[in-house]
Homo-oligomer: A and B are copies of this chain.
Amino acid sequence: MQNTKDRVTIYQVAKAAGVSLATVSRVINKQASVTQATREKVENTIIALGYKPSGLAQALATNRTTNIGVIIPSANYVYISNLLSGITETAREKNYVLTLFSTSHNREEALAMMEKVISTHVDGVIVYDDQLLPEDIQTIASYNVPIVVLDNKVVGDNVGDIHFSYSASLRCIINEYYEKGGESPMTFLHVHNGGRLLNRCEKVFIQTNQELGKEYRVINSDDSYTRTYNEFREYFSQPENHKGFFICARDSLACAVQNAASDSGLRIPEDVEILSLVGTKYAYIVRPTLTTFHIDMHEVGKRAMYMLTDLMNHDLIDRSAHFDATYVQGQSTKKRLKEEN
């Protein structure tokens, strides 16, 4: 182990071992046609010199990088990090390395990222970003890079997609609420930049309520536990707000409402009911436990990576996968549903 060496090249190894480049290359690529003797000779000098092949040069020559680009929003939500850990797990298993292209909530920047993705020469891409329009992603696809898209639709030869559906469960919950005598109008807690998924839920929420001819409310809230908590302390201080059913985007926001309610002396779920749309493990850690819709994002991540490797090997059969949100009954809402998910 010598220190501060400049990079040892295959050429130096060849020279030191008294063979040609080609032979060294064959050894590092474990090709059959090398004598045991030369192979050992080369292997020894490789170790002696501390030679590591340049992935760059290899990639340039072979047109394969063993790199997967992952495009996800930078915000560090638990469900995003679950997704990432799922992708990571399978990527490691398949011997791929991940390159992270994190986007903030800004389409300009997201587009610049697209450029980078293409320049970076990844073997495949997994995209989960709300700011990108289908056509932006299409851009990547048009460069012939296999892509798996989450919660978005892209057409193309090299594309797979994974969809989430909350609509059915959500509609069901709303119906049950009124059927079982729910009285105060339901409230949907919308957050700025909550993304496509949240928007879809909101749409379903509004539509279902309208179909039932019910009053409903949509409140815009900050995507911050503390600020939302404070807003709702204020809110619950008004006697006319002492009852309600709140559908919140994320666990942390659901907790904000729930804590604000109980800290205001209201009872959960007798007075105030709370539902978290994207549940994580914190839903069953907090007290009262949260009723949530749950999709295992770790599984989603694994699935995405599996689909991508299949896509890269040109044998992805089913180009579309589907994850249904599971209803998980917690203590934050009254029990209304029979076991049926």
Which residues of A are at the interface with B, using a C-beta cutoff of 8 A? 1-7, 50, 52-60, 63-65, 67, 74-76, 78, 80-82, 84-85, 88-89, 92, 97-102, 104, 115-116, 118-121, 123, 138-139, 141-146, 156-158, 225, 252, 255-256, 259, 262, 281-282, 284-287, 298, 312-313
A55 close to B139 (CB less than 8 A) = no
Of A1, A5, A80, A281, chain B has the most CB atoms within 10 Å of the CB of: A1
Q: How many copies does the complex hold?
A: 2
By beta carbon, the residue of chain B nearest A314 is B1
Chain B residues within an 8 Å CB radius of A53: 119
A54 close to B102 (CB less than 8 A) = no
A97 close to B123 (CB less than 8 A) = no
A88-B63 contact in complex given A120-B97, A142-B5, A285-B255, C-beta closer than 8 Å = no
Chain B residues within an 8 Å CB radius of A65: 56
B262 close to A52 (CB less than 8 A) = no
Contact of A100 among B99, B121, B158 (CB under 8 A): B99
Q: 12 A-B pairs, CB-CB below 8 angstroms?
A: A3-B141, A4-B144, A5-B144, A55-B119, A56-B121, A76-B298, A80-B81, A92-B102, A97-B101, A97-B116, A225-B284, A259-B285
Contact of A1 among B97, B102, B312 (CB under 8 A): B312
- Complex Cα spacing A256 to B281, Å: 12
A4 close to B76 (CB less than 8 A) = no
- Complex Cα spacing A163 to B229, Å: 34
B4 close to A52 (CB less than 8 A) = no
Given contact pairs A1-B312, A3-B146, enumerate 6 new A-B contacts (beta carbons under 8 Å). A2-B63, A3-B144, A54-B121, A56-B60, A92-B102, A97-B99
Chain B residues within an 8 Å CB radius of A284: 225
- Complex Cα spacing A119 to B58, Å: 10
Contact of A59 among B56, B64, B89, B116 (CB under 8 A): B56
A142 close to B3 (CB less than 8 A) = yes
B63 close to A143 (CB less than 8 A) = no
Chain B residues within an 8 Å CB radius of A225: 281, 284-285
Chain B residues within an 8 Å CB radius of A286: 285-287
B100 close to A52 (CB less than 8 A) = no
A99-B55 contact in complex given A3-B158, A4-B145, C-beta closer than 8 Å = no
A98-B97 contact in complex given A5-B142, A118-B52, A119-B53, C-beta closer than 8 Å = no
Q: How far is the CB of A48 from chain B (nearest CB, A)?
A: 14
- Complex Cα spacing A41 to B101, Å: 31
- Complex Cα spacing A118 to B85, Å: 23
By beta carbon, the residue of chain B nearest A142 is B3
- Complex Cα spacing A4 to B120, Å: 12
B74 close to A88 (CB less than 8 A) = yes
A55-B287 contact in complex given A4-B142, A100-B88, C-beta closer than 8 Å = no
